[in-house]
Structure 1
Amino acid sequence: RMVFSLKYICRATKGIPLDGWARTIVSQIEKDGKEKAYEYYNNLGNDPTDVEKWISFGEMAIESKKRNISYESVSQSISRSANMVALYEKLSLQTLDKDSLQSFLKKASTLLNVIKDSFVSDSNIAISIKEENFLSIHDLEADSA
């Protein structure tokens, strides 16, 4: 998850990357406001719950245009994460036996806790996870089909 989040934030330093459907939603909100956009999509027969998600996503995307995450900051996140990935790789390649199992489990547990903590403590990863979890635009397209 951490690696995918870092990949995402590299594309999202200046805001949420938008595809065609997302650009349509954002454009509609910017042009007409969220109330009229909601009414428009609702009148087309879309599920009101879906429309609320679309509008919320659009508002989040509009707000994200204001951000400017420096590449230096992203680079620092990548560097911190690289150490965790290297340790993960080392652990995954370890041959286990009865004597080494407890040590392995302790190291793996510690690593998982550190990775989990980075999802909150590293602001770039936290932003990425929040946006990725909110609602992928592909879900919007699938729901509207």
Structure 2
Amino acid sequence: MQCAGWLVFLSAGFLVSGCNGGDGEDVVDKSSFQMPIKENTWVRKEKVRKTKNDFFSSAGKKNVEVPVDSTLATKLKTPVSLSISTEKECLQLTNAFDKKRTEVQKRGGLWHAYERVPEAKLYSEYGMQLDSQTNRLVFSLKYLCKNAQGFRLTGWGAETVRKFKSMGKESFRKHFRDLGEAPADVDNWIRFAEFSIQSKDRKIPYAKIGESLAKAQPLMDLYADLSQRKIDDNTSLQTFLTEGSSLLSVINENFTTDPRMVLALQDEEIHPFEGLKGEM
């Protein structure tokens, strides 16, 4: 005999379902199964000093390419000497990187460094990209330090994996599709849960992450230096522009050639760095 089912939507965002003597959970908080917003991973939340005039002065500009200095690029790719063997040491350095990029961006970021010089405004897109990619670099390194000895799931991630384990793949899929969730979203949650379970015991030696940190150190140093560079003639302007272009080129290349950075971005595609969002 089929039971009479009922569904009630409440204004608080909960779905309450019931069936006399039916199996399964009676109350499901759908809001807990919304994927974290991935854009938050890379976008800084610190307020930067941009006036309305600054914003509109850069609108509609065309990107202008600046040549990369191959000699400087080679120098920037030369890692410093570092020895990292523990999570504490790893996080100490990434926190120092985070503090440095935060200080720069509270002053307006490299975007502002370009915008404050009339002759450099045409190239301010480089500043925006440098701010964004530096965020990406720091957050990826911090993620690696925190998850070197296996995934640390919290919040949405931990709850998703718990339900996936208790229900099983097909029951999990049917349960949330029956609740009206988009099939593509449910498939992504399954992919996330399977990936998290498979990677739970993955180990990344801190010494290897240390190699990535050693590569990042000269990049962070130049990023901070450029943010306060004094530009008072054409020579200093050209040096500033060339160094900015070279720095961006090396950072971007680092995301495709450093094995740990490649791994971090692969993880981020499946597992948004939710644990870092509160620290941005």
Query: 2:202 maps to what in 1?
Result: 67
Q: Deviations over 1:17-74 (max 9, x none)?
A: 3113312322333344422321122223222221111111112212222420011111
Asked if the contact 1:22/1:137 (under 8 Å) is kept, the reply is no
Aligned to 1:86, which of 218, 221, 241? 221
TM-score, with normalisation over the residues of structure 1?
0.82
Q: Which moves more between the two structures, 14-23 or 60-69?
A: 14-23
User: Are 1:45 and 2:159 matched, yes or no?
Assistant: no
Tell me the CA shift for residue 113 of structure 1. Answer: 0.8
Q: 1:119 aligns with which of 219, 231, 255?
A: 255
C-alpha distance in 1 between matches for 2:190 and 2:255: 26
TM-superposed CA distance for 1:132, in Å, is 2.5
- Answer yes or no: is 1:8 the counterpart of 2:153: no
Alpha-carbon offset, residue 91 of structure 1: 1.8
Distance 2:145 2:255 in 1: 16
Contact 1:14 1:68 in 2 (8 A): yes
Amino acid at match of 1:103: T
Following superposition, the deviation at residue 137 of structure 1 comes to 7.2
SS of match in other structure, 1:96:
coil
Q: Which residue of 2 aligns with 1:26?
A: 161
Q: Which runs of 4+ in 1 moved over 6 A?
A: none
Q: TM-score, normalised by structure 2?
A: 0.45
Secondary structure of 2:202's aligned partner = coil
Q: Is 2:151–2:201's contact at 8 Å kept on the other side of the alignment?
A: no
Whose strand fraction is larger, Structure 1's or Structure 2's?
Answer: 2
Cα contact 2:176–2:186 (8 A) shared by 1: yes
Higher helix proportion: 1
Gapped runs of 5+ residues in structure 2? 1-135, 275-280
In the alignment, which residue of structure 1 is the partner of 2:193? 58
8 A Cα contact 2:149 2:201, kept in partner: yes
Unaligned stretches of 5+ in structure 1? 139-145
Q: Distance in 1 between matches of 2:155 and 2:139?
A: 22
Seq. identity, %:
36
Residues 143 and 273, structure 2, Cα contact 8 Å, conserved in 1: no
